[in-house]
Amino acid sequence: MNKNIYLNITMTIFMVIAIFLGVMIINALDRVRFEQEKVRDALENLQNSAIHPTPKNTLASTSSSTKGHENVANLEFFDPASTPGGRIIRVISADTGNMNYLINNESSVSDFYSICNSSLAARNYAKPEKFEPLMAESWSISEDKLSYLIKLRRGILWHDFTDPVTGKEWKNREVTAHDFKFFIDVVQNPDTNCAPLRIFMQDIEKIEVINDYEFKIIWKRRYFLSESISLGLSPLPRHLYHAYEGPFDGLKFNDDHRRNRLIVGCGPYRFLRWDKDSRVIFTRWDKYFGNKLGIRPAIENICYEIIKMPNTQFQALTSGRIDWMGLSPEQWETRADVPAFDQDKGFLTKMRYLNRNYFYIGYNLTNPLFSDRNVRLALTHLVDRERILKDIYYGLGQIVTGPFYNESPYNDQAIAPWPFDIAKAVKILNDAGWRDTDNDGILDKDGQKFQFTIMSVANHPIQTRMLPIIKEDMAKAGIDMKIQSFEWSVYVQRLEQKNFEVCTLGWRGGYESDPYQIWHSSQAELLGSSNHIGFKNAEADRLIEEIRVEFDFEKRVKLANKLHRLLHEEQPYTFLFAPDSLLAIARRYQNVHKFPLGIADDIIWTPNNQQLAIP
């Protein structure tokens, strides 16, 4: 997981993100920036292989060189005319609790980790179906996709650091196969708090270390993402996280607060400083293995400024304090007429492109109020998505009907969104037994009022405008919808504990999507899982399980289309929108390109006379 994660945003994650980057980067509704971006981007968009047809039960090998040049991912996109130096200052809305991305689902931490680390291989920026090496010199894959033989490059070094607990100084420590095994061992340890990532690794049987530079990844069963996950693996520094005698302690890993304030990677940037509630700073790693291969990023320093309020963020952007920021639709449409964006004299430019985010309203299905599919359908009929898209998103996006990227074949284009129709919603509710029997304007059934509370993120620029519209339309149908705002950290805690009635968030799908994490019933009762609404459906489970083992693309698409139709009919979510990605960046950056997976900011650079330092 390295610099290349920025193709998606990069969102990466979060959750995370955060989230989580993606649609509005700092302003996103998304839970993806806390989980999906972390897992999907790290394990799908940084992965890679070079696969050739082979006879059954034999292995196919990659080559480590092509036409006399080093075979390394995305070398062709690095500008030979670039000049080293300069900075990128981004913005995030909140500080984090720790820097350990395995236990911290926040998208910002996923982003930090991505620029500090690397992976075995990466997708080509322009042709994501094409695979190219990074840390792996070569690899071989069995035809049944159950065995992956990896050969590492020699001389890849971990970042130098001083252990904050023991005071031991570590320098020139080489990455070996044992560090990849340690990563899998930690993720699969039931005591470590990394349930979302563990889902993707659950079918890895073991990593078999052959020597320091060769290892096998062996899978228990076929899984259509096994290739992506295997070749997207990153190492984990055992000398940081298991710097004590005896067996590895997963609980200690979770609570190792001093070590969890560090990021030790082997990627292009090194963690430099974390100023609590202020900024996080990274600098180029002078011993990065990619330096000799022609893929050293030109930008010297990357900084993340922590600015909580959207208006303050925008002011920082237009004053030149921030170099790179996601915009809300309102900022894009009505506030970008300031001199900073002037086509001739301004220092900022705007970029708009499709992304794979979607937002939704999610119903806690453990609440009897939402157990009836007809009730959920009625609620969807009461959400005027066309009005919200037009008035709040300024038309910068698309209405979605399911969990798959709108322009992906996995998305069934024949499914039309449920229309906004108050009269129809009322009829559905009346037929389900909800009527206003005491004439107080609120529907009731068996003595229970139809009222619920929807969680919102405090000061969120979209939610603060969208939810009152929905509340007003709900009231017209006799439903009392209350809105309760929470700071993001509290919001996430309530979500993970399933302590909510209704939420509104977002997800980012991967280049290839596995719906298991969000929709399989095995995740429904797990605290902290991505299936936070508690969705359980036997037919959905069957389809998801078939998708996971189907390597034939056309067959997998048909299964995904069936799952899309099922979720559309069941409405566990009211699927809302896939907004466009709206980005503001400083004009001084060169070699800025939009690729199928987003913008690759590791290839950008600034001329000598325009380079700025971090103040």
User: CATH code at 21?
Assistant: 3.40.190.10
Do 168 and 117 fall within a single domain?
Answer: yes
Instruction: Give me the pLDDT at residue 409, please.
Output: 86
Query: What pLDDT band is residue 196 in, cutting at 50, 70 and 90?
Result: confident
Q: Indicate whether 200 belongs to any domain.
A: no
Residues 497-536 have pLDDT tens digits of 999 999 999 997 766 778 998 999 999 998 888 899 999 9
Q: Indicate whether 57 belongs to any domain.
A: no
Residues 98-135 have pLDDT tens digits of 999 999 978 899 999 999 999 999 989 998 878 899 99
Instruction: Give me the pLDDT at residue 46, please.
Output: 30
For residue 40, pLDDT over 50 is answered with no
Do 294 and 442 fall within a single domain?
Answer: no
Do 568 and 585 fall within a single domain?
Answer: no
Contact 462, 27 (CB under 8 A): yes
Do 432 and 550 fall within a single domain?
Answer: yes
pTM for the whole structure:
0.75
Instruction: Give me the pLDDT at residue 43, please.
Output: 35
Residues 295-331 have pLDDT tens digits of 999 999 999 999 999 899 999 999 999 999 999 888 9
Element (H, E) at 150: strand 147-152
Q: Which residue has the tokens 């906004």?
A: 420
Average of per-residue pLDDT across 81-86: 97
Q: Concatenated DSSP letters for 397-451? A: EEE-SSSS-TTSTTS-TTPPPPPP-HHHHHHHHHHTT-B-TTSSSS-EETTEE-E
Q: Indicate whether 372 belongs to any domain.
A: yes
Instruction: Give me the pLDDT at residue 596, please.
Output: 80
Q: Indicate whether 189 belongs to any domain.
A: no
Do 413 and 482 fall within a single domain?
Answer: yes
Query: What pLDDT band is residue 25 in, cutting at 50, 70 and 90?
Result: very low
Instruction: Give me the pLDDT at residue 1, please.
Output: 39
Q: Indicate whether 61 belongs to any domain.
A: no
For residue 15, pLDDT over 70 is answered with no
Instruction: Give me the pLDDT at residue 598, please.
Output: 83
Portion of the chain with pLDDT greater than 70, in percent:
88
CA distance 491 to 512: 28
HEC profile for 494-559?
HHHCCCCCEEEEEEECCCCCCCHHHHCHHHCCCCCCCCCCCCCCHHHHHHHHHHHHCCCHHHHHHH
Instruction: Give me the pLDDT at residue 37, please.
Output: 36
Structure tokens that stand for 165 in this block? 């607990």
Query: What pLDDT band is residue 59 in, cutting at 50, 70 and 90?
Result: very low
Q: Indicate whether 497 belongs to any domain.
A: yes
Portion of the chain with pLDDT greater than 90, in percent:
75
For residue 560, pLDDT over 50 is answered with yes
Instruction: Give me the pLDDT at residue 538, please.
Output: 98
Q: Give residues with Cβ within 8 angstroms of 170, minimum separation 6.
A: 158, 160, 161, 162, 163, 239, 240
Do 388 and 462 fall within a single domain?
Answer: yes
CA distance 562 to 540: 9
- Smallest Cα–Cα separation from 111: which of 187, 188, 180, 34? 34
Instruction: Give me the pLDDT at residue 173, please.
Output: 98
Query: What pLDDT band is residue 70 in, cutting at 50, 70 and 90?
Result: low
Mean pLDDT for all residues in the chain = 87
Do 366 and 271 fall within a single domain?
Answer: no
Q: Give residues with Cβ within 8 angstroms of 315, minimum separation 6.
A: none
Residues 131-142 have pLDDT tens digits of 899 999 999 999
Instruction: Give me the pLDDT at residue 199, please.
Output: 80
Grouping H, G, I as helix, E, B as strand and the rest as coil, residue 182 is: helix
CATH of the domain at 526: 3.10.105.10
Q: Which domain holds residue 613?
A: 1-52+73-138+154-175+226-242+264-353+581-615
- How many domains, the chain? 2
Do 21 and 126 fall within a single domain?
Answer: yes
Do 394 and 424 fall within a single domain?
Answer: yes
Do 478 and 381 fall within a single domain?
Answer: yes
Q: Indicate whether 591 belongs to any domain.
A: yes
Q: Indicate whether 331 belongs to any domain.
A: yes
Q: Give residues with Cβ within 8 angstroms of 578, minimum separation 6.
A: 354, 355, 356, 357, 358, 359, 397, 398, 400, 405, 406
Grouping H, G, I as helix, E, B as strand and the rest as coil, residue 95 is: coil
Residues 334-391 have pLDDT tens digits of 999 999 999 999 999 999 987 778 999 999 999 999 999 999 999 999 999 999 999 9
Do 597 and 505 fall within a single domain?
Answer: no
Query: What pLDDT band is residue 227 in, cutting at 50, 70 and 90?
Result: confident
Do 532 and 557 fall within a single domain?
Answer: yes
Average of per-residue pLDDT across 546-568: 94
